[in-house]
Amino acid sequence: MAEKVITVADSITVGELAETLNLPVTNLIGELFKNGIVATINQRLDFETAQIIVEELGIDVEIIRKETATVSARKVHELSDTATERPPIVAVMGHVDHGKTSLLDAILKTKSVDDEAGGITQHISAYQTTRNNRSITLLDTPGHEAFAALRQHGATLTDVVVIVVAADDGVKPQTIEAIRFAKTANAKIVVAINKMDKEAANPQLVKTQLATEHGLNPEEWGGDTLMVEVSAKTGQNIDKLLDTVLLVADLEELRADVDAPAEGLVIESHMELGKGSVVGLLVEHGELKPGHFMVAGATYGKVRTLLDFAGKTIKKAGPATPVTVTGFKELPQFGDVFSIAKSEKDARNAANQARIERERDAASTNVTGADMLKMMTQKNESQELNVIVKADVQGSLTSVMDSLRLVDTDGEITLRIIGSGVGNISENDIRLAANENTIIYGFNVDLPPAVKRLSMRDKVQVRMYKVIYELLDDARQSMESMLAPEVVETEIGSLTIKGVFRTLKNEVIAGGEVMTGKAVAGVLARVRRGDEQLAEVEVTKVQRQQQEAKEVFEGEMCGLSLKTTKKLLIEEGDTIEFFSRELVKRTLK
């Protein structure tokens, strides 16, 4: 039993912990530093980290977590008795090139896929369609695995997930990822087996893969997952797919309050000349109208214009409706909750409070137990790749940054985002990159001629992309180029010494029998005597029956010329192990 028991909340500052332990704060900071954490007296440590550091210090103290009421980051809206039926919110997900965006085009009868780089959705988009006079809200989420962060956002605000799988290609990594996100969000899954018009289409194989490997058993096989065979190209079963989505939605009895202050989520934001901040919102409860004062994260504004997904002006937007608004003072962040305020003063005060909290959190970033354990196991010679990210819209910026942070090199290379923003690459970006030896990534933005000249003068790498997974591949390759190569050894064979003919300062000439594999000239060898390794040598020459040979195989006798760095006394019975050694370029996980 520990001599002393202390109780701490979920986090505690370094200064508070030192005081509680009756320990000089410099000692505690020094211990953190030895474990790879540079901390200040006001730095916050989470509960697990506090436990770890006390154990490292060897102090006989037991730390107990203080029981606190769990406060949700977002207040859950309680439905009233007057809540009415609302349209289902449907996220469409799937592997790249499986026809996800083409399927949406077929549903909406548009041709937006022509505007996509490689047919791949580059940022989240929201639409509405109708079937039997009922609305369905569709969220088009990016189709590459690198957009895990954005796709996860999409799944968490979704009732139904339509997972698109190509009938001629089967289940792929991004398909599996989409299934995982949908299950995590507790959303109902409908599978659209697309490209049924292809000759190689094999829907039964797709169903078998989903059923046996991922627990999605088709309804016709006695399971509970609805699967529809469709073709975005011919329009086959598009209506059936929508009917299936509505059927699943009916079972969920989706409802929302209309007579309530509007609230929902920010799904997109960017700046437009002459309009200012243009923000995509998804209304979840209530009705949003022009003139409403609104708050989203640390910014606020007044609804100046209210447009539907097609860009048409509307007078109000109810639950499960995607809209575009103007009027925010600044760009809100992707995923921010928006709500309505009674007045501009209330909206401003709420935004200012949110800003203060964010700045405070940024100033006292918590060090978690997981962070500490990772730092404790990392090598001191860890390198950094610094990047600046600029994107056209907030959603893409958030997604690229989140995805870059997922790239793992087991602590050898750290990708550090030192700057980011929405809009074209600027001279300030170049100056920052020049000081930090940084790569600038631009996604769907421009590089003005004057800025390009500055980047060339200062030798700053600026890499522009329109397809996000190509940007992420470039970042991976840049990190891989910094990885130390892996030393790979390949065993070739072994030989038992039968006689030693000459021993010089830097050379030994001997003979023996090849016991395993083969003896080869031009490779390395270990000289062993029992379990002891005497030396590592180079095989300069191999002879069979007094004639030079490239290789001699198992069971044959041969002579060897071994190059050494010092005089080596080899004896009869010693073993020579032949092997090759090469440096192999490493890749990320």
Give the mean pLDDT of 19-33. 78
Distance between CA atoms of residues 209 and 217, nearest Å: 9
Weakest-pLDDT range from 52-61, 84-93, 506-515: 52-61
Distance between CA atoms of residues 158 and 181, nearest Å: 11
Are 158 and 89 in contact by the 8 Å Cβ rule? The answer is yes
Q: Is 125 exposed, middle or buried (0-12, 13-18, 19+ CB in 10 A)?
A: buried
- pLDDT for residue 291 is more than 90: yes
Looking at the structure, do residues 405 and 477 belong to the same domain, yes or no?
Answer: yes
Select from 253, 278, 309 the last residue of a domain. Answer: 253
Smallest CA-to-CA distance from 174 within 141, 202, 197, 133 is with: 141
Q: 531: Cβ–Cβ under 8 A, 6 or more apart, which residues? A: none
Q: 489: Cβ–Cβ under 8 A, 6 or more apart, which residues? A: 579, 580, 581
Are 557 and 511 in contact by the 8 Å Cβ rule? The answer is yes
Alpha-carbon dihedral 132, 115, 94, 445, rounded to 10 degrees: -130
Question: From the CA atom positions of the chain, what is the Rg in Å?
Answer: 32
Are 31 and 53 in contact by the 8 Å Cβ rule? The answer is yes
Q: 359: Cβ–Cβ under 8 A, 6 or more apart, which residues? A: none
Looking at the structure, do residues 9 and 25 belong to the same domain, yes or no?
Answer: yes
Eight-state DSSP code of residue 317: B
Q: 254: Cβ–Cβ under 8 A, 6 or more apart, which residues? A: 85, 86, 87, 88, 159, 320
306 falls within a domain: yes
Distance between CA atoms of residues 568 and 582, nearest Å: 25
Beta bridge partners of 549: 542
- The pLDDT > 70 percentage for the chain reads 83
Q: In the block, which residue shows the tokens 């190689």?
A: 200
Number of folded domains that form the chain? 5
Distance between CA atoms of residues 294 and 301, nearest Å: 6
Are 450 and 462 in contact by the 8 Å Cβ rule? The answer is no
- pLDDT for residue 68 is more than 70: no
536 falls within a domain: yes
Region of 522 please: left (phi>0), alpha (psi -120 to 50) or beta: left
| pLDDT at 402 (0 to 100) | 77
Are 512 and 496 in contact by the 8 Å Cβ rule? The answer is yes
Looking at the structure, do residues 135 and 242 belong to the same domain, yes or no?
Answer: yes
Q: What is the CATH number of the domain that holds 133?
A: 3.40.50.300
Q: 503: Cβ–Cβ under 8 A, 6 or more apart, which residues? A: 509, 567, 568, 569, 570
Q: In the block, which residue shows the tokens 């041709």?
A: 111
Cα of 194 vs its chain's centroid, Å? 27
Distance between CA atoms of residues 558 and 510, nearest Å: 9
Looking at the structure, do residues 98 and 242 belong to the same domain, yes or no?
Answer: yes
- pLDDT for residue 551 is more than 80: yes
Q: What is the CATH number of the domain that holds 570?
A: 2.40.30.10
Q: In the block, which residue shows the tokens 């989240």?
A: 124
555 falls within a domain: yes
- The pLDDT > 90 percentage for the chain reads 43
- pLDDT for residue 72 is more than 70: no
Select from 458, 482, 506 the last residue of a domain. Answer: 482
Looking at the structure, do residues 119 and 236 belong to the same domain, yes or no?
Answer: yes
Give the mean pLDDT of 521-538. 93
- pLDDT for residue 582 is more than 90: no
Distance between CA atoms of residues 548 and 533, nearest Å: 27
Looking at the structure, do residues 105 and 230 belong to the same domain, yes or no?
Answer: yes
Are 480 and 586 in contact by the 8 Å Cβ rule? The answer is yes
Looking at the structure, do residues 297 and 184 belong to the same domain, yes or no?
Answer: no
pLDDT-based confidence at residue 323 (cuts at 50, 70, 90): very high
Q: Is 336 exposed, middle or buried (0-12, 13-18, 19+ CB in 10 A)?
A: buried
154 token code pair:
């999409």
Quick check: helix, strand or coil at residue 251? helix
Looking at the structure, do residues 572 and 521 belong to the same domain, yes or no?
Answer: yes
| pLDDT at 83 (0 to 100) | 87
- pLDDT for residue 296 is more than 70: yes
Domain housing 504: 486-584
H or E, element range at 44: strand 44-46
Pairing of strands 532-544, 299-307: unpaired
Smallest CA-to-CA distance from 187 within 162, 159, 165, 212 is with: 159
Looking at the structure, do residues 334 and 418 belong to the same domain, yes or no?
Answer: no
Eight-state DSSP code of residue 566: S
Distance between CA atoms of residues 68 and 521, nearest Å: 71
Q: What is the CATH number of the domain that holds 396?
A: 3.40.50.10050
75 falls within a domain: no
- pLDDT for residue 218 is more than 50: yes
| pLDDT at 53 (0 to 100) | 78
Beta bridge partners of 140: 92, 125
Distance between CA atoms of residues 574 and 498, nearest Å: 8
pLDDT-based confidence at residue 340 (cuts at 50, 70, 90): very high
Looking at the structure, do residues 198 and 225 belong to the same domain, yes or no?
Answer: yes
232 token code pair:
């975005």
Pairing of strands 557-563, 532-544: antiparallel
| pLDDT digit string, tens, across residues 557-579 | 999 999 998 888 899 999 999 99
| pLDDT digit string, tens, across residues 115-158 | 444 333 445 578 899 999 999 999 876 543 434 444 455 555 78
- pLDDT for residue 67 is more than 90: no
pLDDT-based confidence at residue 413 (cuts at 50, 70, 90): confident
231 falls within a domain: yes
Looking at the structure, do residues 194 and 138 belong to the same domain, yes or no?
Answer: yes
Q: 2: Cβ–Cβ under 8 A, 6 or more apart, which residues? A: 60, 61, 62
Select from 310, 332, 362 the last residue of a domain. Answer: 362
358 falls within a domain: yes
Quick check: helix, strand or coil at residue 62? strand
Distance between CA atoms of residues 97 and 99, nearest Å: 5
Give the mean pLDDT of 341-354. 92
| pLDDT at 94 (0 to 100) | 82
Give the mean pLDDT of 537-550. 91
130 token code pair:
């109708």
DSSP letter string, 535-556: EEEEEEEEEETTEEESEEETT-
Looking at the structure, do residues 53 and 98 belong to the same domain, yes or no?
Answer: no
Distance between CA atoms of residues 563 and 504, nearest Å: 10
| pLDDT at 156 (0 to 100) | 58
Weakest-pLDDT range from 19-28, 375-384, 461-470: 375-384
403 falls within a domain: yes
- pLDDT for residue 100 is more than 80: yes
Which tops the pLDDT comparison, 48 or 430?
Answer: 430
Average per-residue pLDDT in the chain? 82
280 falls within a domain: yes
Weakest-pLDDT range from 43-47, 163-167, 188-192, 331-335: 43-47
